[in-house]
Amino acid sequence: MTEAYGLSIPNQLVDVCKPARCALIVYDMQVGIVPQISAGREIVVLCRRLLEAARAGGYRIFFTRHFFLPNNIAGVGQLRRAMVWQRTNKPEETKPFFLQGSPPWEIVPELAPREGEVVIDKITMSAFEGTFLNLAMRDAHLDCFIIAGIALEVGIGPTVRQGLDLNLCPVLVTDACGSKTADAREHTMATLTETGEVFAFSSAEVLSAMSPH
Amino acid sequence: MTEAYGLSIPNQLVDVCKPARCALIVYDMQVGIVPQISAGREIVVLCRRLLEAARAGGYRIFFTRHFFLPNNIAGVGQLRRAMVWQRTNKPEETKPFFLQGSPPWEIVPELAPREGEVVIDKITMSAFEGTFLNLAMRDAHLDCFIIAGIALEVGIGPTVRQGLDLNLCPVLVTDACGSKTADAREHTMATLTETGEVFAFSSAEVLSAMSPH
Amino acid sequence: MTEAYGLSIPNQLVDVCKPARCALIVYDMQVGIVPQISAGREIVVLCRRLLEAARAGGYRIFFTRHFFLPNNIAGVGQLRRAMVWQRTNKPEETKPFFLQGSPPWEIVPELAPREGEVVIDKITMSAFEGTFLNLAMRDAHLDCFIIAGIALEVGIGPTVRQGLDLNLCPVLVTDACGSKTADAREHTMATLTETGEVFAFSSAEVLSAMSPH
Amino acid sequence: MTEAYGLSIPNQLVDVCKPARCALIVYDMQVGIVPQISAGREIVVLCRRLLEAARAGGYRIFFTRHFFLPNNIAGVGQLRRAMVWQRTNKPEETKPFFLQGSPPWEIVPELAPREGEVVIDKITMSAFEGTFLNLAMRDAHLDCFIIAGIALEVGIGPTVRQGLDLNLCPVLVTDACGSKTADAREHTMATLTETGEVFAFSSAEVLSAMSPH
C-alpha cells in the first residue's frame, strides 16, 4: 500500500482484498445464462467459493441480473442488437431472451442472494451503466471490486473497462469468469490486461488474499 | 409544434402528449408509501386514469419503485439520511423503511404493471439517478414524460429537475401528485414552475390532451 | 462524528469541514452571470473569502463554468429552454447567452482559478450532470461539499438536490449564494431545507468551521 | 433501414451516415498525443477528410480532448494509473502527461474546431463517461456516431463499447484510428467486432456513405 496526498493507493492484490474498500460482484449468474457456457457448472462452483469467502470476511456483495425490455417498449439500440444476435432483419421476429421476473432471469439457486446482499438489475452489458452500483459502492467508500461470472467477453469486459474509467480498481478472477470460446477469451484478456491496470488472478490466489491473516 | 434545425420542438401540451415522444411515469405508488399521504387513495384513482389513457393510446409506461439498502451494505449518505429522517444519532438504530422484495415495496394492486410495462427499481429520489430510465426513453426516441405519483416534494420534484437537465420535457400532473403538507406542495410547485420550462396541468387537461382526436 | 459499519458519518458542520472529505465548489461565478444579480459583487467577496480559507486549509477546489451550445448543434431541450427564457416562439431567433471561449464565459478575475484547481465546464444546471465532478470527488474519497455562487434557484438548488441523490453531504453557504429575487430565494431555501439533510449556514459559520483549531 | 414499433432501425452503413441521426467524433487528436503513434500524421490526414465530409454534409461534430488532473487534486484511481503507466511506486514522482490549458493539450491545428463545433473535455478513456456528449447527442435525436482518432486500444475501444451500452450505433473508421502496436490493434478489433454490433469500415467506405447521392 502506498500513501500519498492523504489517500491510500493499492498496488498489490492483498492491498485490494479488504472489506473496507472492496466489493464482490457476481456477474449475471442466471438460470438462462449459466448453461450457455460449457464450463458453466465449474464457474458456479468457483463463484460459490468466492461468495463464501466474502461472506466470511464481511465484504459487501452485489449480484448483477440482466434482462431485456419487451419489444413494444424497447428502442432502436435494443432492437438492433436483437436483430444482430438473432440474425434476422425483422425486429418483430426477435424475442427478448428473457424478461424481468421470468424463470431464466433468476440467479441460480446455488448462488442465491442472502439478506444483506444486493441485486443490481440491468439492461446493459456493463454493470455500471444505468444502475446504482457505483453509487452504492462509493457511498460505502469502496474503490475496488472482485468480479466473477459469465461471460467475460460479453459483459465482464465492459464492466471492468468502465470500472477503470470510474477510477475503481478491478480484480478479475480469471478461472471464475466463463467464456463462450477460447478465442473470445484470449482477445478479451489481451485487451483488458494490456495497460497493467487490471489485477487478473486465479480464484486460488484471490481466495488466499481475501482470507484474514 | 415548432420545427427548426431538423428537430421538432414542443411548445404546447398537445405537442407533448404523443406516444411517439412521451412516456408515462408512475412514481413510487407503493404499498408502503401511498398511505403516508392523506390524499393517497385519490392519487391512486387519478394515476389509474392516466394509466388507462396511456394504455389506450399506446404510450410507453414506466413505474418507479423505491427501496432502501440493508444497513450493513449502506453507506455514509444513506445512513445519514436515515438518521435525519428517523431523528436519531445512532445509525445502528435506524431501519430501512422497506427492503427490496418486502410487502410495502410492492406497487399497489390497482396500479399493478402489466406485460410490456417496465418497473424501474431505485435507491434515489430522482427516477433518473442510478437507473436505466433515461437510457430506455432515449433509445425509443422519447423526449417528454408525464409524471404522477407520490410525493411531489420528496421525489417527483428532483425527478422533474433532473429531467430538465437531461433535456427532457416534463409534464407534471398537478392533482395526481401527492404531498405530505400544503406548505411543502406550495414551495415545490413555486420552485418547479419558476422558469416556465415545466408543463404543469390538471389530470383533466392532460387526459384530454392524451386522447386521440 | 458518528462511526458505524466501518464508516464515519458527519452530523455537524465541523465534521463536514475537513479537507480529507470535503470540496469547495464555486458555482458559475462568470463574467456574464455575476452582473445579473444585484448583490453580485457581495457574492464575489464572500466566495473569495471561502476560496482563501479553502486554499489555506488544503481543500480540493472546483469551479463550475456554464456555457450554451451553438444553435446548429443544440437539441430539442436546449432550444426549448432558450425559447422559454427568451420569450419567443422562433428557435432561430434565440441566442445562446454565451459560448465556450467567449469573454462572458470567463470566471471573474477576482476568483480566477489557480494551478491545482479544476474547472468543470457544463451545459446543465446541476454541476453533477454530464460532468466529471462526482467522479473526481469520489476518486479523492470526498463525500461532502461546500457550495457558493450564482444563482441559488437556477443551478445551485439542482446541484444540491442531485448531490443528495449521489449521497454527498452538501453545505450551502447561504449569504454567499446569489438570487435574482427574494421570492425565488425563499421558495428554493424552503424546498432545500425541508428534509433536514442539507447543511445551510452563513459564510461566517462556515469559515469558522473550516479554520483549523 | 427497417421500420418497427414507430422507430427506424439502421442495418447498413448508408442508413447510419445521415446528419439527422449521426455525429462525427474526432477522438483526442491532441498535440501531445498524435506524435505518440508512428502513423500519427496519416491519421490526421484521414480525420481531416472525415471532418470535411461532415462539414459539407451538415453533420454535428464533436472533438474530445483529454487531460489529467493535477496530482494534488487527483484521487486513488488516477494516481494508481499514473504509477502503472509511469512504472513507479511513488505517486509523488508521477507527472500528469498534460494539464488543461497546456500546449500538448491543444487539438492539432490541422483539425482545429470551428464555430458551431463542440469540444468535449474529459479525464476518462470513454468519451461518454463524465461528459455531456451523450446528453448533447440525444437532445439532437442522434443515435449513431462515426469515430476516428487516437488511440484505438486506449480510448476509442472503451468509447465504442460504452456507446453500445448507451444504445448508440457506432461506426469505427478503421484506417483513421491509430494504435501503438499491431498486436494491440488486433486484439481490440477482435474484441469490438465479435458480436457484429459495431460497424467497422475504411475511411473510403465511410466517406462514400456520407456523401449525398
pLDDT > 80? residue C213 = no
Three-state DSSP at D62 gives strand
Which chain A residues have a beta carbon less than 8 Å from that of C143?
A: 139, 141
Is pLDDT of B212 > 80? no
- Per-residue confidence (pLDDT) for residue D206, from 0 to 100: 98
Closest alpha carbon within chain D to B19:
D6
Nearest CA in chain B to D141: B141
CA of A15 vs chain D CAs: smallest distance (Å):
12
Q: What is the mean pLDDT of chain C?
A: 96
Percent over 70 (pLDDT), chain D = 100
Q: Which of D74, D77, D136 sits opposite C69 (nearest CB)?
A: D136
Report in angstroms the alpha-carbon separations of B157 from A132, B48, C164, D139. 20, 21, 13, 21
Chain C residues in contact with B89 (beta carbon < 8 A): 2, 11
- Whole-angstrom distance, CA of residue C117 vs CA of residue C129: 20
User: Angle at CA B56, nearest 5°, toward C80 and D1?
Assistant: 65
CB contact under 8 A, A7 and C140: yes
Q: What is the mean predicted confidence (pLDDT) over D65-87?
A: 96
CB spacing of A131 vs B129 below 8 angstroms: no
DSSP, collapsed to helix, strand or coil, labels residue D188 as helix
Contact check, Cβ <8 Å, D4/A190: no
Residue D110 has pLDDT above 70, yes or no: yes
Chains that touch A (3 or more CB pairs under 8 A): B, C, D
Across chain B, where does the E strand assignment appear?
A: 2-4, 7-9, 22-27, 60-66, 118-122, 144-150, 169-178, 199-201
CB A65 within 8 A of CB A121: yes
- pLDDT (tens digit per residue) in C188-210: 999 999 889 999 999 999 999 99
Identity of the amino acid at A85: W
Q: How far is D198 from chain C (nearest CA, A)?
A: 25
Report the pLDDT value the prediction gives residue C90, as an integer from 0 to 100: 94
pLDDT the model gives residue C195: 87
pLDDT at B104 over 70: yes
Q: What is the pTM of this model?
A: 0.97
In the predicted structure, residue A151 carries a pLDDT above the cut 80 = yes
**D130 contacts C119? CB cut-off 8 A:** no
Question: Measured between CB atoms, which of A7, A135, A143 is closest to C167?
Answer: A135
From the list D135, D141, D166, which residue is nearest B141 (CB)? Answer: D141
Choose from B63, B83, B133, B139 for mutation: most chain A CBs within 10 A.
B139
Mutate to test the interface with D, among A1, A93, A167 (most CBs of D within 10 A): A167
Burial class (CB in 10 A: 0-12, 13-18, 19+), C12: exposed
Q: Which residues of D touch B (CB under 8 A)?
A: 5-7, 19-20, 135, 138-141, 143, 166-167
Distance in angstroms (rounded) separating the CA atoms of residues A184 and B189:
54
Do B77 and A139 lie within an 8 Å CB cutoff?
A: yes
For residue A1, what pLDDT is reported? Answer: 85
Distance (Å) from the C-alpha of residue D80 to the closest C-alpha of chain C? Answer: 11
Query: Between chains, do D162 and A164 touch, taking CB under 8 Å as contact?
Result: no
- DSSP character at residue C102: S
* A158 with D161: Cβ contact below 8 A: yes
Tens-place pLDDT, residues D32-62: 999 999 999 999 999 999 999 999 999 999 9
Nearest residue in chain A measured CA to CA from D122: A165
ipTM score of the complex?
Answer: 0.96
Which tens digit of pLDDT belongs to each residue from A179-198?
999 999 999 999 999 889 99
Contact D69 C136 (CB under 8 A): yes
pLDDT band at C1 (very low <50, low <70, confident <90, very high): confident
Q: Give the pLDDT band (50/70/90) at residue B114.
A: very high
**Looking at the predicted structure, is the pLDDT value of residue A134 above 80?**
yes
Whether residues C143 and A141 touch (CB distance < 8 A) is answered with yes
Task: Determine whether the interchain pair C7/B143 forms a contact, defined as Cβ–Cβ distance below 8 Å.
Answer: no
Contacting residues of C for A5, CB less than 8 Å apart = 140
d(CA B95, CA B81): 11
Residue C161 pLDDT = 97
CA-nearest residue to D135 within chain B is B166
Residue of D nearest to A21 (CA): D76
Instruction: Check CB contact under 8 Å for A187 and D191.
Output: yes
Of D5, D135, D140, the CB nearest to B166: D135
Where do runs of H (alpha helix) occur along chain D?
A: 13-16, 40-57, 76-85, 133-139, 157-165, 182-193, 203-210
Q: Which pLDDT belongs to residue D195?
A: 86
| DSSP per position, A132-187 | SHHHHHHHTT--EEEEEEE-IIIIIHHHHHHHHHTT-EEEEEEEEEE-S-HHHHHH
CA distance D173 to chain B (A): 24
Counting beta carbons within 10 angstroms of the beta carbon of residue C175, is it exposed (0 to 12), middle (13 to 18) or buried (19 or more)?
middle
In the prediction, which pLDDT does B34 show?
Answer: 98
pLDDT at B213: 60
Q: Is there a contact between C166 and B129 if contact means CB atoms under 8 Å apart? A: yes
- Rounded to whole angstroms, how far apart are CA atoms C70 and D177? 28
Of all residues in chain B, what percent carry a pLDDT higher than 70? 100
Neighbours of C193 (CB within 10 A): 16
pLDDT for residue D143 is more than 90: yes
Asked if the model's pLDDT at residue A213 lies above 80, the reply is no
Q: Are D123 and C129 an interchain contact pair (Cβ–Cβ within 8 Å)?
A: no
Contact B167 D135 (CB under 8 A): yes
Chain B residues within 8 A of D6 when measuring between CB atoms: 19-20
The amino acid present at B163, given as its one-letter code, is: G
Residue C212 in this model has a pLDDT that exceeds 90: no
pLDDT over 80 (residue D95): yes
pLDDT digit string, tens, across residues A74-114: 999 999 999 999 999 999 999 999 999 999 999 999 999 99
Q: How many CB atoms lie within 10 A of CB C202?
A: 13
Q: Which helix (H) or strand (E) holds D144?
A: strand D144-150
Q: How confident is the model at residue D70 (pLDDT cuts 50, 70, 90)?
A: very high
Report the pLDDT value the prediction gives residue B195, as an integer from 0 to 100.
Answer: 87
Kindly report, residue by residue over B149-195, the tens digit of the pLDDT: 999 999 999 999 999 999 999 999 999 999 999 999 999 999 999 88
Taking contacts as CB-CB distances below 8 angstroms, the residues of chain D near B164 are none
**What pLDDT score was predicted for residue D213?**
60
Roughly what angle, to the nearest 10 degrees, separates helices C40-57 and C203-210?
Answer: 10
Residue A85: closest C-alpha in chain D:
D195
As a whole number, the mean pLDDT across chain D is 96
Set of chain B residues whose Cβ sits within 8 Å of the Cβ of C130 = 165
Residues on chain C touching A167 (C-beta within 8 angstroms): 135, 138-139
Residues A126 and A158: beta-carbon distance below 8 Å: yes
Question: Is the pLDDT at B33 greater than 80, yes or no?
Answer: yes
CB contact under 8 A, A5 and D91: yes
Confidence band of A205 (pLDDT split at 50, 70, 90): very high
The pLDDT, as a whole number, for residue D47 is: 98
In tens, the pLDDT along C107-142 reads 999 999 999 999 999 999 999 999 999 999 999 999
3-state secondary structure of D89: coil
**What is the per-residue DSSP string for B90-135?**
-GGG---S--TTSGGGSBPGGG---TT-EEEEESSSSTTTTSSHHH
Question: Do C90 and B125 lie within an 8 Å CB cutoff?
Answer: no
Nearest CA in chain A to D74: A5
| pLDDT at residue B50 in the model | 98
What would the mean pLDDT of B192-209 be, rounded to a whole number? Answer: 96
Is it the case that residue C39 has pLDDT exceeding 80? Answer: yes
CA distance C64 to C150: 10
Cα–Cα distance between B190 and B209 in angstroms, integer?
24
Using a CB-CB cut-off of 8 Å, the residues of chain B touching A122 are: 132
Given D77, D129, D188, which is nearest A162 (Cβ)?
A: D129
- E strand map for chain A: 2-4, 7-9, 22-27, 60-66, 118-122, 144-150, 169-178, 199-201
Q: Residue D176 and residue B63: Cα distance in Å, rounded? A: 44
